[in-house]
Amino acid sequence: MTGANSQRLFHEAQAYIPGGVNSPVRAFRGVGGNPLFFKGSEGAYLIDVDENRYIDYVGAWGPLILGHGNKKIVGAITEQLQHGIGYGASTEAEVKLAKKICEVVPSIEKVRLTTSGTEATMSAIRVARGFTGRDEIVKFEGCYHGHSDGLLVKAGSGALTLGKPDSLGVPEDYTKLTHVLPYNCITSAEAFFSQNGDRIACVIIEPIAGNMNLVTPLPGFLEGLRALCDKHGVVLIFDEVMTGFRVALGGAQSVYQVSPDMTCLGKVIGGGLPIGAFGGKQEIMDMIAPLGGVYQAGTLSGSPLAVAAGICMLDSISDPKIHKDLAETTQRLMDGLKERAKSNNIPFTTNHVGGMFGCFFSEEETVSTYNQVMSCNSHSFQKYFHFMLEQGVYLAPSAFEAGFMSIAHQEVEITATLNAAEIAFSKL
């Protein structure tokens, strides 16, 4: 149940903010009820305006690898505040962060900072078009790359159908430049490229899909895309806004050993503050103004506060033990959830990589396609979400969002979560 103060604030918010939220993902439309309003956080916990504490598996949608209120991150931000909030000019810290990104992600030879992941993906596609001299792009079902017009596209009736707008206000003629293919189906991609490869500027993909819950690439899928892009002179863009530095220090590309031409980053490199970035091969990145003819700009790009937090974050997670511990904790939670679901005869399975995970109410042993995700029992998830909330566990309020682990989640939080899940599964 949403507390009285959250109810009051939501009622007031609806008078001034569309739907009462500043991002649809915060709404509870996918699970029913009204959203919670939070006032504080600590370690693995969120605290709402009614003083309820929740074990948090949203983690600001991914960046809080170190947990809420990490003293090092807060200290870095506080120190920068003493010198200034922003200058609208270059800083030494920007160079330091850019250098660190290039060192950690070998496929990135040069990088440009932005203020959001949407800016990063939008800009990367523009650069790829400028580099290749082509207009059309390819994306995949279930992958989300921000809310720019050309990417808000759904598949239509067939895998090779030209995209149709997935939002009002997006011109259909614009999205005709976007083709949507099925995720994890390399044969469809091969068939499409055999007919259209010379017209495609870029392929953009979440190497691990984190916006249809969590779906991992099947063996050979990313490798197959790399080969197709090489064959047809197409720029391969990995959208690692969610996975970059989260599933491994070098991102998903280091996990699967597939090197893209360009990479989009965000979230983690701001330590929780707004930031994004895109980078790649030097010959591609040198197409950007002031060196080249592709225009991209941002007044607040490289915000001193976000950059300070980002440098501290990347320094803090450079120890290999961080990601090892994250992966082991996530594995322990997923195994425990499956055991409790099985003991209560609930069809349930999970996917996970590093500190990211996905849970599916499905009869399938493995969920690896968009159609499998869409056939999961969303009604069971809705009830599960509220049962877990009652037990003090905050999950993403949607069956189509990934979950995130932090190093602040210790044995006590995992045990409490599994105890809550036992109660939730028994009520389904």
pLDDT-derived band at 338 (thresholds 50, 70, 90) equals very high
Judged against a pLDDT cut of 70, whether residue 387 lies above it is answered with yes
Please report, for the domain that includes residue 204, its CATH number: 3.40.640.10
CATH code, 20: 3.90.1150.10
Cα–Cα separations (whole angstroms), residue 392 to 47, 48, 182, 326: 10, 11, 37, 21
Question: For 186-207, b where at least 16 C-beta lie within 10 A, e where not — what string?
Answer: bebbeebbeeebebbbbbbbbb
Same-domain status, 109 and 250: yes
- Local confidence band at 160 (pLDDT 50, 70, 90 cut-offs): very low
Q: What's the whole-number mean pLDDT along residues 378-387? A: 96
Q: How far is 197 from 308, CA to CA, in rounded Å? A: 42
Are both 127 and 49 inside the same structural domain? no
- 99-103, 169-173, 354-358, 403-407: which range is least confident on average? 169-173
DSSP annotation of 68 reads: B
Please indicate, yes or no, whether residues 245 and 288 belong to a single structural domain of this protein: yes
pLDDT at 147: 81
Separation of alpha carbons 247 and 250, rounded Å: 8
**pLDDT higher than 60, residue 163:** no
Q: Are residues 329 and 312 in the same domain?
A: no
Percent of the chain scoring above 70 in pLDDT: 97
What span, in angstroms and rounded, lies between the C-alpha atoms of 342 and 305? Answer: 46
- The two three-digit tokens of residue 119, written as one number: 């800016």
The model's pLDDT over 123-133, given as tens digits with 9 standing for 90+, comes to 999 999 999 99
* Predicted local distance difference test score (pLDDT) of residue 278: 98
Burial of 100 (0-12, 13-18, 19+ CB in 10 A): middle
Hey, what are 336's tokens? 């425990």
Q: What is the pLDDT of residue 277?
A: 98
Query: What pLDDT, in 10s, does the model give residues 254-285?
Result: 999 999 999 999 989 999 999 999 999 999 99
Joined together, the tokens standing for residue 2 give: 């949403």
How far apart are alpha carbons 155 and 168 in whole angstroms? 16
For residue 157, count CB atoms less than 10 angstroms from its CB and return exposed for 0-12, middle for 13-18, buried for 19 or more.
Answer: exposed
**Does residue 87 sit in the same domain as residue 41?**
no
Q: Which of 38-47, 174-183, 388-397 has the lowest mean pLDDT?
A: 174-183
Please tell me whether the peptide bond between 290 and the residue prior to it is cis, using omega within 30 degrees of 0: yes
Question: Is the pLDDT assigned to residue 158 strictly greater than 50?
Answer: no
Please indicate, yes or no, whether residues 369 and 349 belong to a single structural domain of this protein.
Answer: yes
Query: Where in the sequence is the domain holding 417, given as residue range(s)?
Result: 4-65+319-427
Query: How many separate helices (H) and strands (E) can be counted in the chain?
Result: 14, 16
Residue 57's CB is within 10 A of a number of other CB atoms, namely 23
Q: What are phi and psi of 356, to 5 degrees?
A: -115, 145
CA distance 159 to 163: 10
Q: In total, how many domains does the chain have? A: 2
What confidence score (pLDDT) does residue 161 get? 34
pLDDT at position 82 over 70: yes
Q: What is the mean pLDDT of residues 120-149?
A: 93
Question: Residue 164: is its pLDDT beyond 60?
Answer: no
**Is the model's pLDDT at 156 over the cut of 50?**
no
pLDDT of residue 167: 73
Give yes or no: residues 61 and 83 share one domain. no
Are residues 312 and 404 both part of a single domain? no
pLDDT exceeds 70 at position 159: no
Q: Which of 251, 283, 316 finishes a domain?
A: 316
Mean pLDDT of 49-59: 97
Last residue of a domain, one of 250, 283, 316: 316
Identify whether residues 323 and 311 lie together within a single domain: no
Return the active site residues: 144, 239, 267
Residue 149 — pLDDT band, cuts 50, 70, 90?
A: confident
At 168 the pLDDT is 77
Q: Are residues 91 and 150 in the same domain?
A: yes
Q: Do 19 and 153 lie in a common domain?
A: no
pLDDT in the model for residue 207: 98
Cα 204 to Cα 40, 131, 407: the distances in Å are 36, 15, 30
Residue whose structure tokens are 């037990």: 391
CB of 296 closer than 8 Å to CB of 289: yes
pLDDT at 24: 86
- Interval 195-218: pLDDT, tens: 999 999 999 999 999 999 999 999
Token pair recorded at residue 398: 């949607």
Q: Which of 316, 340, 369 is the C-terminal boundary of a domain?
A: 316
pLDDT for position 154: 63
Residues 104 and 190 in one domain: yes
302-to-110, 198, 219 alpha-carbon distances in Å: 15, 36, 37
Question: Average of pLDDT values for 18-34?
Answer: 91
Band of residue 1 on the pLDDT scale cut at 50, 70, 90? low
- Segment holding 173, helix H or strand E: helix 172-175
For a pLDDT cut of 90, what percent of the chain falls above it? Answer: 89
